[in-house]
Amino acid sequence: MSELTREQVIEMYEKGESFKEKDLSEIDLSGCDLKRADFTRAKLNKANFAGADLQDSVFVKADLREANFTGANLERADLSKSDLRWSVFRGAKLLKASMKGCKQDQPSGYRSKETWRL
């Protein structure tokens, strides 16, 4: 379970604070505006980001197993070296998102050494 509540995350974000290395497992951040947020090495397994605005956010080396990004905006987000196994990206915007070196459970149509340009 997350060490922070949804309300605490929003408050921290509004203050410009980082979520680097935080445990936010199973948190529901659906529909949140989290542009340019720093989730480097954060634990975000089973997190719900459905419909969230995550443009330019950083998820480098984050644990995103089973995370829900349905309909999320991940344009220019950096998900490099993250664990994306069993995550859902249905309808997500991934224009210029970097997913270099990510772990995935099955082939998804992207090449691991490239940046997505959809």
The verdict on residue 107 lying in a domain is no
This model's pTM is above 0.85: yes
> Residue 106: inside a domain, yes or no?
no
Question: 50 and 73 in contact (C-beta within 8 Å)?
Answer: no
Q: Tell me, what's the pLDDT at 106?
A: 60
| Type and span of the H or E element at 8 | helix 6-14
Q: What's the number of domains the chain is made of?
A: 1
Asked if 51 and 66 touch (Cβ cutoff 8 Å), the reply is no
What's the confidence (pLDDT) of residue 63?
Answer: 98
Residue 117 lies in a domain: no
Token match 């719900």: residue? 48
Range of the domain at 18: 1-100
Low-confidence ranges of the chain (pLDDT < 70): 106-118
Of the candidates 42, 32, 43, 25, the one whose C-alpha atom is nearest the C-alpha of residue 10 is: 32
13 within domain boundaries: yes
Please indicate, yes or no, if residue 110 is contained in any of the structural domains.
no
Backbone angles phi, psi at 38, to 5 degrees: -105, 110
Q: Is residue 73 part of a domain?
A: yes
Q: Is residue 115 assigned to a domain?
A: no
pLDDT value for 104: 86
Q: What is the CATH number of the domain that holds 63?
A: 2.160.20.80
20 occurs within a structural domain:
yes
**What pLDDT does residue 102 have?**
93
Tell me, what's the pLDDT at 95? Answer: 96
For 11, other C-beta atoms within 10 Å of its C-beta total 12
